[in-house]
Amino acid sequence: MAMAAAITPSSSSSSRLRQALPVKNPPLSRNFHLPQSFRLRSRLPSITTTIRAVAVEQDSRAQLGPNEYVDVFACPVCYEPLIRKGPSGFNLAAIYRSGFKCTICNKTYSSKDNYLDLTVTAGMKTYNEAMPIGTELFRSPLISFLYERGWRQNFSRSGFPGPDEEFRMAQEYFKPAEGGLLVDVSCGSGLFSRKFAKSGTYSKVVALDFSENMLRQCYDFIKADDTISEENLALVRADVSRLPFASGAVDAVHAGAALHCWPAPSNAISEICRVLRSGGVFVGTTFLRYTSSMPAIARPLRQQFMSRSNYYIEEEIEDLCMSCGLTNYTKNVQRSFIMFSAQKP
């Protein structure tokens, strides 16, 4: 415990400061990987561990070369912040021209097309992993192309109020996160990422999705819109169950119409809780299996048809958020549409 206290930034402001600047002399994060000998020694008096922690920190400083700095992105394998080499700046062009390295895993990450690939499988040559249908469906070039050209508009039939209103509602929930780092998890073609970036409310917006083709669409939409400043925007490929951020590094997570597509929502929400800083806000939307206003007599039938799907009832979503460590759960339901919000304690 004493070791953890010695190396863990204690406040949200310190973690925010860490993201805001290219840090030449980084503080050690909670997940900083320690040699086995260090972990064993954690039972010894705190003075020993403090000295050792300082030595590890100095090691990590010594690793930084010219044009290298600790980045906001972390390794999806060990969650240690990546060392970035290349032009500085949180924008598409600078990130595209930068290389990223995890000094713990000795793994490198770079941009493919116009997004930074931070999946665990990035760079693998022979291994190919198939994901469940909710993930694979959206990797299709056709579905990705059609998504903002008719597919998404259909959600209004289930009660989704539409992108402008959903964005307005989300912004209300995100007030405690203003000025911080917002990650639009499962952004698809970037419908909301673009709105968050345009709003100027956040210092950084990460549009993150597992689908390569959704991210390509996202890039094209960004390029076609002169009103979007790319100065605070990044496109990242990642799995929601392995988010490439250090613990407590993120102020806001948005996940529009995504929960029902995730392979394991409990893993995803636990991961979202891990990356949020204390007081950070999560806002998600999804389709409900049925609402509390559905007559009790009709529920078993609906349950029968949808029990194997990832469509949940209101109480399950609350249970999921609370069980994964979030608090202050609130919701807004309109027919099968639910927008829910919860906070990291």
Minimum distance from residue 73 beta carbon to ligand SAM (Å) = 15
Tell me: does residue 188 bind ligand SAM (CB under 6 A): yes
CB 197 within 8 A of CB 204: no
Tell me: does residue 191 bind ligand SAM (CB under 6 A): yes
Nearest CA among 162, 166, 142 for reference residue 152:
162
CB 57 within 8 A of CB 226: no
Whichever of 224 and 296 has its CB closer to ligand SAM, that residue is: 224
- In the range 219-278, which residues lie near ligand SAM by CB under 6 A? 239-240, 256-258, 261-263
Minimum distance from residue 191 beta carbon to ligand SAM (Å) = 5
Contact window for ligand SAM (CB under 6 A) among 36-44, 109-117, 181-189, 320-328:
181-189
Nearest CA among 83, 126, 77 for reference residue 103:
83
Contact window for ligand SAM (CB under 6 A) among 39-47, 93-101, 182-190, 322-330:
182-190
Query: d(Cα 234, Cα 232) in Å, to the nearest integer?
Result: 7
Minimum distance from residue 38 beta carbon to ligand SAM (Å) = 33
Whichever of 22 and 263 has its CB closer to ligand SAM, that residue is: 263
DSSP state letters, 139-204: GSHHHHHHIIIIIGGGGGGGT---HHHHHHHHHHHTGGGTTSEEEEET-TTTHHHHHHHHHT--SE
Minimum distance from residue 188 beta carbon to ligand SAM (Å) = 3
Nearest CA among 102, 113, 84 for reference residue 21:
84
Whichever of 28 and 166 has its CB closer to ligand SAM, that residue is: 166
Whichever of 69 and 262 has its CB closer to ligand SAM, that residue is: 262
Minimum distance from residue 114 beta carbon to ligand SAM (Å) = 16
Q: Which of 214, 234, 246, 338 binds ligand SAM (CB under 6 A)?
A: 214
Each residue 131-150 as x (binds ligand SAM by CB under 6 A) or -, in order, gives ---xx--x------------
Strand pairing category for 233-237 and 250-255: unpaired
Q: 308 exposed, middle or buried (CB, 10 Å; 0-12, 13-18, 19+)?
A: exposed
Query: What does the angle CA 282 – CA 136 – CA 307 come to, to the nearest 5 degrees?
Result: 70
By rule CB under 6 A, what count of residues binds ligand SAM? 21
Nearest CA among 231, 236, 243 for reference residue 276:
243
Whichever of 18 and 254 has its CB closer to ligand SAM, that residue is: 254
Taking residue 294's Cβ as centre, other Cβ atoms within 10 Å add up to 15
Question: Rule CB under 6 A: which residues touch ligand SAM?
Answer: 134-135, 138, 152, 186-188, 191-192, 209-211, 214, 239-240, 256-258, 261-263
